[in-house]
């Protein structure tokens, strides 16, 4: 028996080919056709040109081409995923029908995942870096997906969790990642399932609301500054006193009494006295 593979998306119409086609000179009345799933579940069966059996799960969703025996399913459900077997018998005689065809075809049903949604929550912040918890989620797809991510085109490792009601139900997937961001970076999350990939990118920004604490001056700095200020004030005071005395000494010297001081300061110079005496002679 040969095995074929057919892919279909959820909700579409798909045809599963059989391995035999009736010649124009022949008739469907000369055949028995069985379409069964997993070799146990009869999807539908024809004999002598009439439908003799159909599973209730495929009721109003299946039909068969009466020339090439293609099985059409619409709309496709995830539960339709799996192997189907087409068996064709020719009724040369009702007592001894011969098998002219026996072939398996596997149906792979896929469902598109939603576009990944990225959220970033700041867990800790400092002047040097911002710690973030990043989550990427997608839902409604089939089969079970793979999730990947890049940070500035460098791969990152996710903590991934999947949710599904059963192995034949749509999946929801969430990836969690802790990042230490020291600058603005570009982040991408991708969800891939059965060859189909959807991606979302997000710019993760380092927060800039960090406040640098004011550090009070140390005790040694305060002490040294105080000493310098005191020395400076003493130097200014001493310089002021010295300058005042130097200026006064050039005017007159201090005497024991005010009267003597006045006389001493008003005493005529020697050269003037000589000149006066000479004049009187």
Question: CA of 144: how far to CAs of 114, 169, 216, 237, 278, in Å?
Answer: 13, 9, 59, 90, 137
For 194, the domain range is 117-204
Position 267 in a domain: no
pLDDT, mean of residues 109-116: 95
Tens digit of each residue's pLDDT (9 = 90 or more) over 85-106: 999 999 876 667 789 989 999 9
CA distance 51 to 64: 10
- Picking from 70, 90, 110, the residue at the C-terminal end of a domain is 110
Average pLDDT of the residues of the chain = 82
- pLDDT recorded at residue 249: 58
Burial class from Cβ neighbours inside 10 Å (0-12, 13-18, 19+) for residue 164 reads middle
CATH code at position 33: 2.60.40.10
- Percentage of residues in the chain having pLDDT higher than 70: 78
Q: Quick check: is 240 in a domain?
A: no
173 vs 273, residue with greater confidence? 173
Instruction: Categorize the per-residue pLDDT at 128 as very low, low, confident or very high, splitting at 50, 70 and 90.
Output: confident
> And the tokens for 55?
């599973």
| Final residue belonging to a domain, choices 110, 139, 169 | 110
pLDDT given for residue 95 in this prediction: 66
pLDDT tens-digit profile of 47-85? 988 999 888 899 999 999 999 999 999 999 999 999 999
Rounded Cα–Cα distance for residues 165 and 217 (Å): 65
Considering the domain architecture, whether residues 12 and 87 belong to the same structural domain is answered as yes
Average pLDDT over every residue of 246-271:
49
Looking at the structure of the chain, the number of domains it has is: 2
Query: Does one domain contain both 104 and 134?
Result: no
Do 99 and 123 lie in a common domain?
A: no
- Same domain as 143, residue 87: no
pLDDT tens for 202-234 read 998 887 655 555 555 555 666 777 788 888 777
pLDDT at 62: 94
Quick one: pLDDT at residue 2? 56
- Residue 115's DSSP bridge partners are none
Domain boundary residue, one of 64, 82, 110: 110
Q: For residue 29, is pLDDT > 50?
A: yes
pLDDT, greater one: 267 or 180 = 180
Specify the pLDDT at position 93.
62
Residue 260 has pLDDT above 70, yes or no: no
Phi, psi (deg, nearest 5) at residue 22: -75, 135
User: Which candidate, 154, 155, 174, places its Cα nearest to that of 164?
Assistant: 174
Phi, psi (deg, nearest 5) at residue 23 = -70, 160
DSSP the chain: --EEEEEEETTS-EEE--S----TTS-GGGEEEEEEETTTEEEEEEETTEEEEE-GGGTTTEEE-TTT-PEEESS--GGG-EEEEEEEEE-SSTTS-EEEEEEEEEEEEEBPPPPPEEEEEEEEE-SS-EEEEEEEEEEEEBS--EEEEEETTEEE--EEEEE-SSTTS-EEEEEEEEEEESS-EEEEEEEEETTEEEEEEEEEPPP----PPPPPPPHHHHHHHHHHHHHHHHHHHHHHHHHHHHHHHTT----SSHHHHHHHHHPPPHHHHHHHHHHH-
pTM over the 0.75 mark: no
> Do 50 and 91 fall into the same domain?
yes
CA 219 to chain CA centroid, nearest Å: 48
């Amino acid at each position: 028996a040969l095995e074929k593979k057919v892919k279909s998306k959820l909700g579409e119409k798909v045809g599963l080919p059989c391995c035999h086609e009736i010649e124009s000179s022949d008739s469907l009345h000369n055949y028995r056709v069985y379409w069964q799933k997993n070799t146990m579940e009869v999807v539908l069966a024809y004999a002598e040109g009439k439908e003799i059996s159909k599973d209730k799960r495929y009721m109003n969703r299946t039909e068969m081409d009466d020339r090439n025996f293609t099985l059409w399913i619409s709309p496709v459900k995830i539960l339709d995923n799996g192997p189907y077997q087409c068996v064709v018998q020719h009724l040369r005689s009702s007592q001894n029908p011969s098998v002219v065809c026996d072939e398996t075809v596997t149906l792979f049903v896929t469902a598109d995942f939603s576009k990944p949604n990225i959220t970033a929550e700041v867990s800790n912040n400092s002047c040097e870096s911002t710690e973030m918890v990043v989550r990427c989620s997608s839902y409604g797809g089939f089969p079970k997906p793979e999730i990947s991510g890049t940070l500035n085109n460098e791969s990152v490792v996710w903590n991934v969790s999947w949710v599904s009601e059963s192995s034949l139900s749509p999946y929801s997937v969430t990836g969690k990642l802790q990042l230490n961001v020291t600058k603005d970076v570009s982040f991408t999350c991708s969800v891939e399932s059965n060859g189909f990939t959807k991606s979302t990118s997000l710019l993760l920004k380092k927060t800039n609301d960090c406040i640098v604490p004011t550090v009070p001056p140390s005790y040694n700095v305060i002490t040294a500054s105080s000493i310098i200020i005191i020395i400076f004030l003493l130097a200014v005071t001493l310089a002021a006193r010295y300058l005042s005395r130097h200026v006064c000494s050039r005017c007159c010297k201090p005497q024991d009494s005010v009267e003597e001081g006045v006389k001493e300061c008003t005493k005529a110079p020697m050269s003037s006295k000589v000149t006066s005496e000479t004049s009187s002679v």
